Amino acid sequence: MADIIQTIKKAALDAIENSSPTSIVFGTVISTNPLQIQVEQKLLLTSEFLILTKNVIDYETEVSIDWNTGQESLNSSHSHTCNVISNEDVTVSIDNQNIDLTHNHTISGKRKITIHNGLKQNDKVILLQQQGGQKFVVLDKIY
């Protein structure tokens, strides 16, 4: 009779496990090169077991922007060049010291930016573990 009860318990546990194809676990980044994540103080995952999402990597993307820079004054650290098509030398001089040369620049259109989401040592992360598998999806950092 005990064998039948054990068999029924095992079948019930298998059914529960199979109804949940994934599980959520938490970890800490131990190192980034090579990538290692410690899960629940007993399992050390290396990169071959990890699937990284955009939430935990550095990546480039395109954005549309329409910005103006802050005010800049023309001085020794900020200058502009002027291209003149001429056979003669061109000299630009400013005699009046009271001329205000502050200005800003417009930046608009599609531009590439880098999102710096990469994992760092001691980051706390949330992972999704494949049921019965050895792969873990690193979903995000926990703050």
CA 59/CA 57 separation, integer angstroms: 6
Q: How many CB atoms lie within 10 A of CB 50?
A: 19
CA 122 to each of CA 1, 36, 83: distance values in angstroms, whole numbers, following the listed order: 51, 11, 52
Under 8 Å between Cβ of 49 and 134? yes
Under 8 Å between Cβ of 123 and 29? yes
pLDDT of residue 84: 61
Sketch out the chain's domains with CATH numbers: 18-57+118-143 (2.40.50.140), 58-75+100-116 (no CATH)
* Residue 70 DSSP code: P
The pTM of the full predicted model, rounded to 2 decimals, is: 0.63
CA 54/CA 118 separation, integer angstroms: 9
pLDDT of residue 138: 97
User: Which residues, other chains included, contact 49 with Cβ-Cβ below 8 Å and sequence gap of 6+?
Assistant: 134, 135, 136
pLDDT of residue 11: 75
Cis peptide before 21 (omega within 30 of 0): no
Q: In order along the chain (143 residues), what is the average pLDDT of each group of 10 residues?
A: 76 67 90 95 92 96 88 61 63 59 83 95 95 88 93
pLDDT of residue 31: 97
**For the stretch 85-111, what's the b/e string if a residue is b when 16 or more beta carbons lie within 10 angstroms of its beta carbon?**
eeeeeeeeeeeeeeeeeeeeeeeeeee
pLDDT of residue 107: 85
pLDDT of residue 68: 83
* Residue 71 DSSP code: P
pLDDT of residue 30: 97
